[in-house]
Amino acid sequence: MERFNKKIFGKIGQKMTMGRMHHLKIHGILFFVLMQFGCTDFVDVDPPKTTLVSETVFDDPSTVESALANLYFGMREQGMVSGSTGVTPGLGICGDELDYYGFSADLIQLYRNDVLAGNGITTNWWQQAYHHIYGANDIIHGLDGSNALTVDEKNRFLGQAMFIRAYVHSQLALVFGDVPYITSTDYLENGKVSRIPVSEVYTHIIGDLTQAAEVLEGIDFNSGERVLADLDVVKALLARMYQYVGNWEMASSLASDLIGRYSLEEDLDRVFLKDSQETIWQLKADLEYPLNTREGEQLIIRSIPGQSYALTEELLSAFEANDLRKDHWVGSMSDVDDTITLYFAHKYKADINEPESLEYSILFRLGEQYLIRAEARVHLGNLIGAQQDLNMVRYRADLQGTTATTPEELLEAILKERSIELFTEQGLRWFDLKRSGKADQVMGVLKPNWQASDVLLPIPESELEANPNLLPQNEGY
């Protein structure tokens, strides 16, 4: 079957460069409050009933909630976090998780690891990311000037906005490397900004998350649906960021906090349901459309031909014999002649048009935290504790305990377990290959066009043209 079709798929997404951010003025919060997305389903807040002026947006908590709801909605539907056009499918085909069978020229570039600086997908990722960051910054600055909200209301909104700013910057840095860290709504300043080293980006992310944790401490505002960024969500990202920078004590401590508050689902078919007890943060499905996840819409194969993505042989062969995750989280489909059978990610199972919402898009869950703490414990010399954490994930899959005993064996076993437990979840496998230094070893064998520089994607050409201060381009492009 031909994988590399030549038909051009149109560039997607909204074109909004950092150099053109004058289209959103200082009080651009109106854009988020008045967008016609119906996205208040995310937090069950009634939309504003009249046209607002920017000075009144922060006089009423419901209008700030509406603005935040638009940010959550935008992340679910547009850019890197989106299950349709985001890093789950995009980095899945860049790496060793997914094969691509579709017709998009932009996605074919990602699949071949031959990405051009004008790629429509990666340009959309960059532009939508800074679009969301601008919205978060507008809320942060608006709250600073508000005298109408209570302290708890201000802190609840500020913590969420700071988390969103940190989270989206983390995605940008992991995909593009050195990027600007934007905290201003001044379009003139933002149009001239320069990239900073990724280590500094991580420092800013951790700083924002630390402040978010401080203002959210003691405030209980999340529903049982886990759709808002509360203190637990902040801790989950902080644990991941400390893992990425090698601060193992903090990574272990934060993961332990969450492990003490959540429980693994014993039934693998319940892990990705909207009421899963191990979900830390998820993006709520729409009450109108889509009723379930974009991830399921994209990854489930319903017919052959007609599929876009399928699991790679490399991923399928990584499952151990009798691993229940292969039975419950992998589906298959054959063509009408039963000559071709392909396998697909079946973590999400509900059709996008089910009569009710059964699944939300999960971004943080407890399984990752066990594996973060296992890795941290290896580096801290607690090998027995690392084995225990690793085995918690393995036992649920009906596997025997790990046979790894040395630090080197355990780190290798944890990396492999992450590839199985977290496959097709927000590009985590791609990021693991990068941070472990194994990208060349794995991808060099798998992809004929692979070069070491492919671990970073190119800064979009349109952004470099609009703002030369973003130069130089990433190596290899």
The pLDDT, as a whole number, for residue 173 is 98
Whether 308 contacts 101, CB under 8 Å: yes
Report the pLDDT value the prediction gives residue 59, as an integer from 0 to 100. Answer: 86
Average pLDDT over residues 310-336: 98
Average pLDDT, the chain: 90
Residues 281 and 197 reside in one and the same domain: no
Residue 17 reports pLDDT greater than 80:
no
Mean pLDDT of 263-281: 98
Omega into 290 within 30° of 0, i.e. cis? yes
**Are residues 281 and 375 part of one domain?**
yes
For residues 153-171, average pLDDT: 98
Specify if 107 maps to a domain: no
Is 207 found in the same domain as 164?
Answer: yes
The answer to whether residue 3 sits within a structural domain is: no
pLDDT at 288: 85
Asked whether residue 255 carries a pLDDT value surpassing 80, the answer given is: yes
Task: Report the pLDDT averaged over residues 371-394.
Answer: 98
CA distance 259 to 65: 29
Closest CA to 201 of 176, 173, 175: 173
pLDDT value for 57: 79
pLDDT at position 305 over 80: yes
Same domain, 317 and 196: no
Domain that includes residue 321, residue range: 222-436
Secondary structure in 3-state letters for 229-254: CCHHHHHHHHHHHHHHHCCHHHHHHH
List, for residues 184-197, the tens digit of each pLDDT value.
999 899 999 999 99
Cα angle 368-374-378, degrees, rounded to a multiple of 5: 145
Confidence at residue 13, expressed as pLDDT on a 0 to 100 scale: 34
pLDDT tens sequence across 425-469: 999 999 999 999 999 999 999 999 999 999 999 999 999 999 999
Residue 132 lies in a domain: yes
CATH of the domain at 371: 1.25.40.390
Please indicate, yes or no, whether residues 205 and 344 belong to a single structural domain of this protein: no
Question: Are 206 and 226 part of one and the same domain?
Answer: no
User: So what's the pLDDT on residue 29?
Assistant: 41
Do 420 and 336 reside in the same domain of the chain? yes
Residue whose pair of structure tokens reads 């919060």 in the numeric block: 29
Q: Report, as an integer, the average pLDDT of 136-162.
A: 95
pLDDT at 287: 83
Q: What is the pLDDT of residue 412?
A: 98
The model's pLDDT over 70-119, given as tens digits with 9 standing for 90+, comes to 999 999 999 999 999 999 999 999 999 999 999 999 999 999 999 999 99
Arithmetic mean of pLDDT, 372-391: 98
> Does residue 473 lie within any of the structural domains?
no
**Which range, of 9-13, 238-242, 272-276, 381-385, averages the lowest pLDDT?**
9-13
Query: Same domain for 169 and 298?
Result: no
Same domain, 158 and 35: yes
**CATH number of the structural domain spanning residue 171:** 1.25.40.890
Q: Residue 45 is which amino acid?
A: V
User: How far is residue 73's CA from residue 83's CA, in Å, rounded to a whole number?
Assistant: 12
Residue 6 lies inside a defined structural domain of this protein: no
Whether residue 42 is predicted with pLDDT greater than 90 in this model: the reply is no
pLDDT of residue 2: 36
Q: Mean pLDDT throughout 120-134?
A: 97
Q: How many domains does the chain have?
A: 2
Is 399 part of any domain? yes
pLDDT of residue 473 exceeding 70, the answer is yes
Reply yes or no on whether the pLDDT at 127 is more than 50. Answer: yes
Q: Tens digit of pLDDT for each residue in 223-235?
A: 789 999 999 999 9
- CA-CA distance, 370 to 278, in Å (whole number)? 11
**In a domain? residue 102:** no
Residues 200 and 334 in one domain: no
What pLDDT, on a 0 to 100 scale, did the predictor assign at position 243? 98
CA nearest neighbour of 66 among 45, 41, 36, 38 = 45
Please indicate, yes or no, whether residues 370 and 389 belong to a single structural domain of this protein.
yes
Q: Is residue 270's pLDDT more than 90?
A: yes
In order of 35, 219, 234, the CA distances from 155 in angstroms are 24, 8, 14
Do 303 and 264 share a domain, yes or no?
yes
Alpha carbons 293 and 354: distance in angstroms, whole number: 10
Give domain status of residue 105, yes or no: no
Q: What is the dihedral of CA 449, 454, 459, 460, to 10 degrees?
A: 30
Task: Give the pLDDT score at 56.
Answer: 67
